[in-house]
């Protein structure tokens, strides 16, 4: 029984990874968008933007890199749910739903695929940042950053699956995702330090789970943070568990 469930999860993971590798435009977009943000926004503002406080001495490009990694993970993870709508449209979803495996194993396979592509994209962004001159302060910190990368991917892939499980319209799904993604992205502190922002904006940022992911990545990669690392890990871990549970529950109610 356990072997069958693991095989089902692996099969779903393998299928999603093959789709990712074969989608050349998707791979190009995953490389081009972070490059443009880092090259134009990061390098462009780098000479005219001075960070203060505990960020003093750190360039804006270094500050921006963890935020771009989080942004890339957010977009790719949330839109991973669109594969469910494609599978529903072309009949594949019906086939896997009647298979003699639990729907939870299907969700796990999709989440693992999202986490794998998240790691790949994070490595791409890190490589781009190195080419643009961002130094690596601590190799161990880079390894620790993958904990936050996995938690961010896991959380938002599950959230995207939760929405996709209750929707049938692909255009509507994209509109809803954009409606959610942009506030989450802009409030996360990916582009600006949280120190010194107005109180109402700071409160909204504290309610944004991605804020803790960005802060954790920043601590791992450049050694500065707004929150204690244990708080960032704890918030993301709890959010991940809640999102996986929500995604699994809503997917279990899916009908085709």
The series of mean pLDDT values per 10 residues for the chain, 256 residues long, is 79 84 71 77 68 70 87 83 75 71 82 86 85 80 88 89 80 80 86 80 90 91 86 93 87 70
pLDDT at 242: 92
Nearest residue to 235 (alpha-carbon basis) of 254, 216, 256, 249:
216
Number of independent structural domains in the chain: 1
pLDDT at 256: 57
pLDDT at 207: 92
CB-CB contact of 44 with 213 (8 Å)? no
Range of the structural domain that residue 114 is part of:
2-252
pTM over 0.75: yes
What sign does the CA torsion over 110, 173, 31, 194 have?
Answer: negative
DSSP one-letter code for 81: G
Paired tokens of 33:
């968008």
What sign does the CA torsion over 129, 29, 239, 202 have?
Answer: positive
DSSP one-letter code for 64: H
pLDDT at 49: 65
């Amino acid at each position: 029984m356990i072997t069958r469930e693991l095989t089902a999860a692996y099969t779903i993971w393998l299928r999603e990874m093959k789709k990712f590798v074969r989608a050349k435009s998707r791979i190009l977009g995953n490389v081009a968008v972070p490059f443009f943000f880092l090259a134009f926004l990061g390098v462009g503002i780098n000479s005219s933007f001075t960070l203060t406080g505990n960020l003093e001495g750190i360039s804006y490009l270094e500050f921006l890199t963890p935020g771009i990694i989080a942004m890339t993970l957010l977009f790719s993870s949330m839109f991973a749910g669109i594969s469910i709508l494609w599978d529903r449209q072309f009949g594949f979803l019906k086939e896997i739903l009647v298979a003699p495996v639990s729907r939870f194993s299907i969700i796990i396979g999709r989440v693992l695929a999202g986490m794998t592509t998240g790691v790949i994209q994070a490595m791409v962004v890190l490589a781009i940042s190195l080419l643009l001159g961002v130094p690596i302060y601590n190799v161990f910190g880079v390894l620790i950053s993958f904990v936050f990368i996995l938690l961010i991917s896991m959380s938002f892939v599950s959230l995207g699956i939760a929405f996709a499980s209750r929707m049938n319209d692909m255009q509507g799904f994209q509109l809803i995702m954009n409606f959610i993604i942009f506030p989450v992205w802009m409030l996360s502190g990916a582009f600006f330090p949280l120190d010194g922002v107005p109180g109402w904006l700071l409160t909204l940022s504290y309610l944004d789970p991605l804020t803790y992911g960005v802060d954790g990545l920043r601590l791992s990669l450049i050694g500065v943070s707004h929150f204690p690392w244990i708080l960032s890990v704890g918030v993301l871990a709890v959010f991940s568990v809640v999102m996986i549970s929500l995604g699994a529950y809503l997917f279990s109610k899916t009908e085709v």
